[in-house]
Structures are given as C-alpha cells and as structure tokens.
Amino acid sequence: MWILLVRPTHFWLRLGVCALPLAACSAPANTTPSAAPFPAMTTAAFPLQPPTPLNPSVTPKEDLLAFLLNYSQQIQSLPLPVLGQELQVVLQHFKAEDVPKHRLKLVLLHGFAHANQRNDKLALELLDGALQKTEAIDVNLLAYLRFLQRILLERVETERRNQLLYNACEQRLKQERKERVDLLEQRTRLQQKLEALKNIERSLNDRGKPAALDKP
C-alpha cells in the first residue's frame, strides 16, 4: 500500500515538471508594440533664426563697420564725374542729418577716393568730429577709425612739410631771380659807363690832333 501511494506522487511531479516548459512554450507572445524612439533633433529641421533687433531703423555698430568697408571698396571703382555726384548727395544727407554714417562716408570720399577730389584736412576734421560724438563705439569700429586717422595725420603732416619745402624753394628761386636781375642791371650800368668813357676818350683825342694846312 505504501508503494502505491509513492509511485502516483512521483508520476504527477514528473508530469508537472514536464508541463512547465510546455506551458511556457505555449504561452502567447506579447504582441503589444514597443514605443518607437524619438527622432533626433537636427538644426536642418529647426533652423536657427537671427535675433530680430528691437528697433530695425537703428543700424548696429558692427553693421556700420561692414558698411564702411564695403563702401570704401565701391567708391574706388567710380569714375570722377560719378564720384562728384555721390559726394554732393552724401553732403546733402549730412547737412540734413549729422549722423556717424553720413559723416564717415564724407571722410572716405574726401580722404580715400580719387586723388583729384582728395582733401585730407577736411577728412581729418570730419573724422575727429565723428570720434568725439560717437558714444559706446564698438572696439573694431574704433580701431578702424583710428587707423584712418593715422593715415590722414601722416598725409597732412607730409603735405605740411612739402608745402614748407615748396615755399622755401620758391623763396630761393625768387631771391635768385632778383639777384640775376640785379646783376643784369649792374652789367647794363657798367656798359653804359664804359661807353661814356670811350666817348670822352675819343673826344679828347680829336681835340689833340693839329689842324690840317691849306695847300698853295
């Protein structure tokens, strides 16, 4: 009787152990789809936009520097008649509104354009006024304006020295011309005196000759 009770128990244990893998294999798979990963964020999908200025009518100082550099290159290729027209237009704008943009355009037109239109002294005066009136100026723009100022100062100083040298040479030429004229006048007076002495000598010689005798 003990053997009969033990054997069925072993049978059911074995059956249960064998049934576990079968149950695991026969269990339905989890068909719930997993969440798809989020796509990567790229700058191409969301391009960055430049910040909008609070006041579009106000040009940033960095833009002013870029404008001046571009404007300086543009006026180099302009013929002289067109350059004169541009100067008149900018001058009218400057008289209507004295702002750094118009003032610095005049600096470039007077100091760094065609040689026939150059006026370094006026360009330097305009530039000094711009440096005095500009507040909180950008470092790069200030360096550019100081560079233009050094060039104009060197030109004005060179022009001043050349003018002094020219004046000295002109004064020397005037003195030499005066001395040459004086020498010519002295020579003329000496020749006149010499001719007068010759005339006196001939007169004395004529008086010393004996009178000719009459023939019989």
User: pLDDT, tens digit, for every residue of 129-138?
Assistant: 988 875 556 8
Rounded CA-CA distance 207/205 in Å is 5
Mean per-residue pLDDT, 63-92: 92
Q: What is the pLDDT of residue 154?
A: 95
User: How confident is residue 117, by pLDDT bands cut at 50, 70 and 90?
Assistant: confident
Mean per-residue pLDDT, 1-29: 44
Q: What is the pLDDT of residue 144?
A: 92
User: How confident is residue 12, by pLDDT bands cut at 50, 70 and 90?
Assistant: very low
Q: What is the pLDDT of residue 56?
A: 38
Q: What is the pLDDT of residue 197?
A: 87
Quickly count: other Cβ atoms within 10 Å of residue 152's Cβ.
23
Rounded CA-CA distance 204/209 in Å is 9
Mean per-residue pLDDT, 50-65: 50
Using the predicted structure, report yes or no on whether residue 118 has a pLDDT greater than 80: yes
Encoded tokens for 125: 């005066």
Among candidates 122, 102, 98, which has minimal Cα distance to 111? 122
Mean per-residue pLDDT, 8-27: 44
Per the CB < 8 A criterion, the answer to whether 142 and 65 are in contact is no
Q: What is the pLDDT of residue 203?
A: 81
Per the CB < 8 A criterion, the answer to whether 112 and 148 are in contact is yes
Using the predicted structure, report yes or no on whether residue 164 has a pLDDT greater than 60: yes
Q: What is the pLDDT of residue 210?
A: 59
Mean per-residue pLDDT, 81-106: 93
